[in-house]
Structure 1
Amino acid sequence: MNFYKHETAVVDDGAEIGDESKIWHFVHVCGGARIGRGVSLGQNVFVGNKVIIGDKCKIQNNVSVYDNVYLEDDVFCGPSMVFTNVYNPRSFIERKTEYRDTLVKRGATLGANCTIVCGVTIGEYALVGAGAVINKDVKPFALMVGVPAKQIGWISIYGEQLKLPLEGSGIARCEYTGEQYQLENGFVSIK
């Protein structure tokens, strides 16, 4: 395979790393991990055994992608954001058989220092603001902020807020790409 690995990074035997990926300083990738093409793993990233990272994902510094976390293509994980995999951890109780799956769908952005409580799905192209805490599923194209996170709007694929109501129906156009988005039955789609 053709990928870059900094001399301080550790990639365990068995890990699958796609072409053109970059693994920076002090990263540890466990042997069961599957990492796609063109992925960037920033300084001090940890990737567990039961993890799948899609093509062209960017995982910024100080992020741990624990077992049972699955990232589709083009996901952005901001600096120091947090994934969990056990809902009710105790140091004195073994709960490795209780890991809950977390799925982050294509093109979603997870802002710096946000926390994703395990067992949720983050929809396509959703944007989770810096410092937010996600404890329930997030709709595609949703803009989420706060603790716990609440939806405050809708976001385009380009990453700009759309002029759509939270509920009801409507049509909006992305100012930058001209793509048209439609809100109907509580979900946004490209028209």
Structure 2
Amino acid sequence: MDNMKFNSMGEHVKKLLRECGDNVTIYPLAKIVKPEVIDIGSNSMIDDFSFIYGGKGIKIGKYAHLESFVSIIGGGKLVVGDYAVIATGSRILTGTDTYYGGKRMSTALPEEKRNVIRGKVVIEKDGFVGTNSVIHPNVTIGEGAIIGSNSLVLRDVEPWSINVGTPSRKIGERPKVKEELNEL
């Protein structure tokens, strides 16, 4: 591999980020494309085998964790709040192709031949996206909400709720975090 490929992976990418907090860990096999539009808060972690496409901008808060095999794709925007987790194998889609208007859905085509929906995904403070879940564009996962493993999220999720299924539905509530963390 040449130096350009290495620069988009692991710790090498930190110097290319728009903003990078203190004590950020980006493991060597995490790949980040368009790092110049990405902000990562202090003490956050991105595990090996994650793929992040910066799209129109990504902001990751402090103490957030993107676990292994997470994909962030689609070309839209993403906001991940402080203390949030995106668990192993989850997919965050900030954009997707649609068949609307009789358009083709091949991402190999020029964009004018496709009908692409790009939007913003927000995972608020203390949000948790469970293993192998899929979040679609234009969705907000409210503060403290939990998305159970293997869920498909197509609509906004209430704060401090527990949600599961395909498509996801609310099944309960989570107690609010009572203590604010000062810097550890």
Same fold, TM exceeding 0.5? yes
Structure with the bigger RCO (C-alpha within 8 Å, sep 6+) is 2
Q: Which sections of structure 1, spanning at least 5 residues, go unmatched?
A: 1-7, 159-176, 180-191
Query: CA offsets, 1:104-151, max 9 Å, x none?
Result: 110000000000011110000000000000000000011000100111
Report the CA distance between 1:97 and its aligned residue: 7.4
Report the CA distance between 1:28 and its aligned residue: 2.1
CA distance in 2, matches of 1:46, 1:19: 21
Q: 1:136 aligns with which of 120, 143, 155?
A: 155
Report the CA distance between 1:69 and its aligned residue: 1.2
Query: CA offsets, 1:45-93, max 9 Å, x none?
Result: 2233211101110110011223411111111000010111224352235
- State the partner residue of 1:41: 46
Q: Which has the larger radius of gyration?
A: 1
What pairs up with 1:39-118 in 2 under 5 angstroms?
Answer: 39-49=44-54, 50-66=57-73, 67-89=76-98, 90-91=105-106, 92-94=109-111, 98-118=117-137
CA distance in 2, matches of 1:145, 1:93: 36
Query: CA offsets, 1:7-37, max 9 Å, x none?
Result: x625175302210111113112322211110
Say which SS state the counterpart of residue 122 (structure 2) adopts: strand
Matched, 1:124 2:131: no
Q: 1:22 aligns with which of 15, 22, 25?
A: 25
- Under a length normalisation based on structure 1, what TM-score does the superposition of the two structures give? 0.73
- Under a length normalisation based on structure 2, what TM-score does the superposition of the two structures give? 0.75
Indicate the RMSD between aligned Cα atoms, in angstroms: 2.4
Identity %: 23
Q: Are the counterparts in 1 of residues 14 and 20 from structure 2 also a CA contact under 8 Å?
A: no
Matched, 1:147 2:158: no
**4+ aligned runs moved over 6 Å, structure 1:** none
Number of aligned residue pairs: 154
CA distance in 2, matches of 1:103, 1:96: 23
Q: Are the counterparts in 2 of residues 104 and 122 from structure 1 also a CA contact under 8 Å?
A: yes
Q: Which amino acid aligns with 2:63?
A: K
- Taking a change above 3 Å as real, the CA distance of residues 72 and 96 of structure 1, as seen in their structure-2 partners, is farther
CA distance in 2, matches of 1:77, 1:134: 13
CA distance in 1, matches of 2:163, 2:119: 21
